[in-house]
Structure 1
Amino acid sequence: MLTRKRVILSAMQKRKICEKKKKNPSFSNVELAQEYKVEKSTVTNILKEKERWFTISVSQENIKKFHASHFAKQFSIEDFYYSEGWLGGFKKRYGLRQFKKQSEAASTPSAESIKNDCRALQQLLTPYNSEDIWNGDETGLFWKMEPSRVLACTSISGHKKEKSRVMIFCAANALQKLGVLRRHRFDIDSRYSRYRN
């Protein structure tokens, strides 16, 4: 008995299956399976995770195609063709998958410690008026930060993160708020120089 060759669908193909089913619910899973030359169970599993496949953007797939073609030219590969399932097959062949980079260990206070600190803070602030009690926090854009996930064969150890950033400080009390304060940390790329104070 002949066994059917295993077909690996790309993320965009899975998205197209979900889109076809959404546009035309009368399409049966068997019809979709025949069109894409996969098992009915494969289509069923894809449709179960349709929310995931709808988040895949066309631009992501185009970027991968561009880089694959670029490297093929660099290595003088004449007969290279990027098919829909090529990337999925390549990753499976070489055991590539996404890993989250290990981050530096951070100490977090326990829930009990936070409760005790809150009680102590309430006692400390009792003599003050509400308008004199301010809360402020800063947030920032780490514009040189590398992605936390990488494509690799094995888990990758973390390293010190790039700290170049633009910081924003916001503060408020029960009655009013301060204007937003901005400050810049370390060297800022010239593209962002027009946003300096």
Structure 2
Amino acid sequence: MASTSTNVRKRKGFTLEQKIAIIEDTEKKTKTQSKICEEYSIARGSLHTILKDKDKIMSAYTQGLFSQNRKKMRRPETNDVDRALFTWFKDARSKNVPLSGPILVEKAKEFAERLGVTSFTGSTGWLDRFKSRHEIVMKRICGESAAVCQETIEGWKDTQLKKILEEFSPDDIFNADETGLFFKCLPNRTLALKGEQGTGGKIPKERITLKHLNPAQ
């Protein structure tokens, strides 16, 4: 008859949150290790590895170095830069500041210089790994929107506008249109934590108005 351990379905990997749960269950000592292996579908050797790395796992969890859903915990060589940037990232997003990859790289370089980390380069590969570690994704910002009532416009053109134009010579009538240059407007997409709403706040009102005129004839 096969032993209980051979009937346990082995998992390929565990998230950081699952590893914490396994460690806590083991330390409570209310269950045997065999029972824990059975409940979590984990091989006894994998359980021993998790317990051996307990301090490293707990440190990563409490310091927020990795997403709780991440399975592999390959620590970045520039831990201090990574930690400082992620703290800044969360603060910026809490204020609805739109962020992009180049902004993160420049901010990381700034932290590296402050911390004296001379090996940091801010490469594309580093940025990809940083976003993967913290489950950061690109999202479209949900902002304000407005709609124009075309029916009202057409009604005004057919009634009021015709009466106004009768008072002018054709040479004095122009088609005019205007547009606004919002010189403080930020991008309409942002990097955000997975599961976070892509909020960017209200669009700045500062603008330069440009008007175009063309003869109506």
Q: Structure with the greater relative contact order (CA < 8 A, sep ≥ 6): 1 or 2?
A: 2
TM-score normalised to the size of structure 2?
A: 0.40
TM-score normalised to the size of structure 1?
A: 0.43
Larger Rg: 2
